[in-house]
Structure 1
Amino acid sequence: MSAAAKLKPTSEDLLAEILGSLDDDQAQDVVQIDLRGKSEMADYMVVATGRSTRQVVSISDKLTERLKQDHGVQSKVEGKDGGDWVLIDAGDVIVHVFRPEVREFYQLEKMWLSPEQAAARS
């Protein structure tokens, strides 16, 4: 673990790492939602899509490994066994990785985006 990893990363540092990891692993339709002032659970939520169950699991595995290795963040992971929707709780940033059909069904980000942001995504 590097000296930088011993310091607790800011939520912005975590967000940048997460967005970079999702981009590296070709996650699609990545949306970041600022939760500051809206929720106590986290500062940011990120919603992304993987093309298949295998890619959803791979994106999630690589992300949690990078966060652990680069920042010392032990993420809590839910749903990896099914591979339809994986939730990664990295503390200040919550990440949801969906298969396309599951994401469309739940439309999770629409609950958190402003009406203007949600309309722009439609």
Structure 2
Amino acid sequence: MPVQSKEILNLAVAAAEDKKAMNIVALDLQGISLIADYFVICHGNSDTQVNAIMTEIRKRVQEKGGIIRGIEGTDTARWVLMDLGDVIVHIFHRDEREYYNIERLWSDAKVVNL
């Protein structure tokens, strides 16, 4: 049985929390975008922390049978994008998060209470 998007969302958030990701925000995109059901946005304070957050999310999703469709940005660890199907995870370095401010771009989306 495929893993549901809400479960993937919860796995990604829990993994990010365990690696001390900062300012974790989940946006509900259902009915707003065909890209995904949810965005998870967070940041780390160093390249090492950004990669640690990504690694932990990948591990937990795979352990539950979820599919990682793609991961981009690990070479610089300034903005790592994880495609988990119906959940897209954005892991920024703190400087890039402030610069890109993608929460503003998706301001129509509801924030999910975590």
TM-score, scaled relative to structure 2: 0.90
Alpha-carbon displacement from aligned partner over 1:61-119 (angstroms, at most 9, x marks no partner): 1111211122232241000011101000000100000011100000011110239x7xx
Could you tell me which residue of structure 1 aligns to residue 66 of structure 2?
72
- Corresponding residue of 1:14: 8
Q: Secondary structure at the match of 2:64?
A: helix
Give the distance between the partners of 2:80 and 2:51, measured in 1 at CA: 7
Instruction: Give the secondary-structure state (helix, strand or coil) at the position aligned to 1:41.
Output: coil
- Structure 2, unmatched stretches of 5+, are none
Unaligned runs of 5+ in 1: 1-6, 118-122
Per chain length, whose mean CA-contact separation is higher, i.e. which structure has more relative contact order (CA < 8 Å, sep 6+)? 2
Computing the radius of gyration from Cα coordinates, the structure with the larger value is 1
Q: In 2, distance between residues paired with 1:107 and 1:74?
A: 25
**Larger strand fraction of residues:** 2
TM-score normalised by L of structure 1: 0.85
Percent identical residues: 35
Aligned-residue CA RMSD (Å)? 1.7
**Could you tell me whether the CA contact under 8 Å between 1:88 and 1:96 is conserved in 2?**
yes
Note if contact 1:64-1:75 (Cα within 8 Å) is conserved in structure 2.
Answer: no
Number of residue pairs aligned between Structure 1 and Structure 2 = 111
CA contact (8 A) 2:32 2:108 kept: no
Stretch moving more, 67-76 or 88-97: 67-76
